Amino acid sequence: MRTSQSSQVLPCSRTVDYDLAIVGGGIVGLTLAAALKDSGLRVALIEAKKRSLAVSQGRAYVISLMSGQILSQIGVWQRILTQISTFSQIHLSDADDPGVVKFHPQDLGRDGLGYAAEHRVLLEALQEELQACPHVSWLCPVEVVSTQYEADAVEIELNRGGEKSVIRTRLLVGADGSKSHIRQAAGIRTYGWPYWQSCVVATIKPELSHQNIAYERFWPTGPMGILPLPGNRCQVVWTAPHAKAKEMKEWDEERFLTELEFHTGGKLGRLSLLGDRILFPVQLMQSDRYVLPRLALIGDAAHCCHPVGGQGMNLGIRDAAALARVLQSACQQGEDIGDIKVLQRYERWRKPENLMILGFTDFLDRIFSNNWLPIVGMRRLGLWMLRRIPHVKIYALQLMTGLRGRPPELAQQ
């Protein structure tokens, strides 16, 4: 058997308790469970936090058009849509350069360009969808103590408040974030690098209407994203070198808002701060592999990218939809869902597409977080091309909204 200390696989013939166990009850893990709720597969959701604590996280995310289609197909979109903002435009600009690239819904023949959704809204909708599903069992709050991989099952030792138990599953899915214990215990290596930057996240109330416009504004210290939220609120994700970002978090409220008003160009008028500021470092990470026999990784457990462009959560949602499709297809054909040949179909699908987005976000951050004149000239030429050449503009917009690459069947309309 394969454990955290060994990769040996031994034969096994005992029955299983579940068809798959998902470790991580966040948005990506729940999306996978919701996508499989009508498949007949027995699913265990293993989460270390109480559900109420998981919901309380004060972040918001860009939800791409592709992710919206996936969430619609799994039945939660109508619950979500009334509580989120739909982008009427996206404005892309370089510091104080007057040239602004403006993306409009008609560029794609759509009613909107994406969405801004708070963590709480997404997670509550997914939890409600799964609450009454007879094939999904919540094991929460529960910690994974150890995993043993056998020929036809994974044995998982659990700890619930000091009480130990063991479950067996045909497939284990790691959806437990960038520091994934499931990935580390399986010995899967990662490559990539921490950036020289951290992000300061704040929720603000602007004096002027945000008009549902999303902004991505690049400064030599790093990009700044502004997401419009319901109730004329905005979430700001402000990137800067580590020391500077730490200072920004500790600035008094007046100084922080004065600097923020300057960096937003006064487009939102006077600003008020709502709640605490959050600081987190950013990294690029790609797992050496997404799958092993009886194991698959999704979301941040498999990869992480720079937050520029708001791609991270959307990659995880597409991972979940793709893996769900692969597993359902395998079931229909009578295949073992934990077989490496089945799981490699998921890896071949998602790994190259994720790598393309990781490279794209890394390129954006490096070329715009730069004051070297030749680079400044090159990027402003790129912005000029986006403004003037429709095909370039549409290609970039399709990449940003998740409409390039192979769509999971859940997202097809």
Q: For each successive 10 residues of the chain (413 residues), what is the average pLDDT? A: 39 73 97 95 94 70 96 94 96 88 94 95 95 92 96 96 95 97 97 96 96 94 95 96 97 96 92 95 96 98 95 96 96 96 98 94 90 86 90 90 78 51
pLDDT at 408: 76
Domain membership of residue 56 as a residue range: 18-192+284-411
- Cα 413 from Cα 411, distance rounded (Å): 6
Query: 232 — phi, psi (to 5°)?
Result: 50, 45
The number of CA neighbours under 13 Å toward the Cβ of 225 is 20
- Cα 3 from Cα 8, distance rounded (Å): 8
Q: Is residue 346 part of a domain?
A: yes
Q: Is residue 47 part of a domain?
A: yes
Domain count, the chain: 1
Consecutive H or E run containing 103: strand 100-103
Q: Is residue 255 part of a domain?
A: no
Q: Is residue 320 part of a domain?
A: yes
CATH number of domain containing 359: 3.50.50.60
pLDDT at 6: 34
Q: With 0.85 as the threshold, say if the pTM is over it.
A: yes
What burial letters (b/e) apply to 204-243, b meaning 16+ CB within 10 Å? bbbeeebebbbbbbbbebbbbbbbbbeebbbbbbbbbeee
- Cα 36 from Cα 324, distance rounded (Å): 6
Q: Is residue 340 part of a domain?
A: yes
**β-strands 115-118, 213-219 pairing:** unpaired
